[in-house]
């Protein structure tokens, strides 16, 4: 019974999230031309492809991992390949392609005019400026997260809750730190571009900052690190506000990439060396 519930509940949540997104997109005037009811030729099939792709992505990338917490058997990290590291991002990319492809392919002239680059928030008149803003935001984001976690850790210790603080790094963190630096950089680049395109480019304009940020946070809950989740929450709302302010996802992409690169190339290896030396 419990196993069935853990399988069905994430599916139902993913479907409910997609239905809510579809209604919110129509209400906000962000429905793609090919997905409008009674709009472009073949709109029922278009809607099935687009919404189905989003439901699968949200199920595999957000709700199923959350439901598996505490039940999923430990992963044999020796069997993890380079391909496995990028599977989730590949799922998000496929969902983006199918959603925008179904919504825009041969749908021009039907409903409002739309371009995929505009809909995804990729257009900007000043790319150099947006890159600079993204670099500054990424650096400031790390300072803010480190400061917040330090204060939080101090409060926990002051209240006698030292046992709540992590005493040793999880195996996944050790595994990632042992990857070649080029692969770690590739993970940071992939996370910045793909996750921002999906959560801030596709979802945020259609369901708003709060809902898209909650989904982003849930996608990282399976890491099993409460303190890391605090950083993810700060990062998510900061990137959401940055996207709203700049009206393009490029600063968020750059900031997210820099944030993850600092984490994967500097912070984690340094923290592990400190732990090894006591």
Per-residue pLDDT tens digits for 225-240: 677 788 899 999 999 9
Nearest 5°: CA angle at 198, between 211 and 170?
85
Q: Is 163 exposed, middle or buried (0-12, 13-18, 19+ CB in 10 A)?
A: exposed
More confident residue, 12 or 41: 12
pLDDT at 33 over 70: yes
pLDDT for the residue numbered 205: 96
Looking at residue 225, its pLDDT comes to: 67
Q: Are 57 and 202 in contact (CB under 8 A)?
A: no
**Average pLDDT of 50-61?**
96
The pLDDT confidence band at residue 269, using thresholds 50, 70 and 90, is: confident
Q: Could you read off the pLDDT of 74-119 as tens digits, one per residue?
A: 566 667 777 888 999 999 999 999 999 999 988 765 666 668 899 9
What pLDDT shows up at residue 164?
65
CB 137 within 8 A of CB 251: yes
- The confidence score (pLDDT) of residue 76 equals 64
Task: Give the pLDDT confidence score for residue 128 in this predicted structure.
Answer: 94
Count CB neighbours of 24 within 10 A. Answer: 17
pLDDT in tens, 119-129: 999 999 899 99
Round the average pLDDT of the chain to a whole number and report it: 87
**Region 3-32: what's the mean pLDDT?**
89
CA-to-CA dists, residue 30 to 24, 26, 33, 201, 216, angstroms: 8, 6, 9, 12, 20
Give the residue-averaged pLDDT of 172-180.
Answer: 80
Report the pLDDT value the prediction gives residue 230, as an integer from 0 to 100: 85
Total residue length of the chain: 278
pLDDT digits (tens, 9 = 90+) for 179-206: 899 999 999 999 999 999 999 999 999 9
pLDDT at residue 271, rounded to an integer: 75
Note the pLDDT of residue 263: 87
């Amino acid at each position: 019974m419990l196993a069935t519930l853990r399988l069905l509940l994430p599916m139902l949540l993913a479907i409910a999230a997609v239905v809510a997104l579809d209604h919110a997109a129509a209400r906000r005037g962000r429905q793609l031309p090919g997905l409008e009811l009674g709009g472009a030729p073949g709109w029922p099939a278009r809607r099935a492809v687009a919404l189905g792709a989003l439901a699968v992505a949200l199920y595999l990338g957000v709700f199923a991992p959350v439901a598996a917490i505490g039940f999923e058997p430990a992963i044999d990290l020796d069997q993890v390949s380079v391909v496995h590291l990028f599977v989730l991002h590949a799922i998000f990319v496929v969902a983006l392609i199918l959603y925008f492809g179904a919504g825009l392919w041969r749908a021009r002239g039907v409903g409002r005019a739309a371009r995929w680059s505009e809909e995804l928030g990729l257009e900007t008149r000043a790319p150099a400026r947006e890159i600079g803003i993204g670099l500054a935001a990424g650096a400031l984001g790390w300072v803010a997260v480190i400061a917040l976690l330090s204060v939080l850790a101090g409060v926990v210790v002051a209240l006698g809750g030292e046992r709540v603080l992590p005493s040793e790094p999880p195996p996944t963190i050790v595994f990632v730190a042992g990857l070649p630096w080029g692969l770690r950089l590739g993970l940071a680049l992939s996370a910045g571009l793909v996750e921002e395109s999906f959560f801030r480019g596709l979802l945020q304009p259609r369901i708003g900052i709060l809902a898209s940020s909650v989904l982003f946070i849930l996608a990282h809950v399976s890491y099993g690190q409460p303190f890391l989740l605090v950083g993810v929450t700060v990062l998510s709302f900061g990137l959401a506000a940055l996207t709203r302010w700049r009206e393009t996802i490029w600063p968020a992409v750059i900031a997210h990439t820099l944030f993850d690169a600092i984490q994967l190339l500097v912070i984690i290896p340094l923290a592990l060396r400190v732990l090894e030396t006591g």
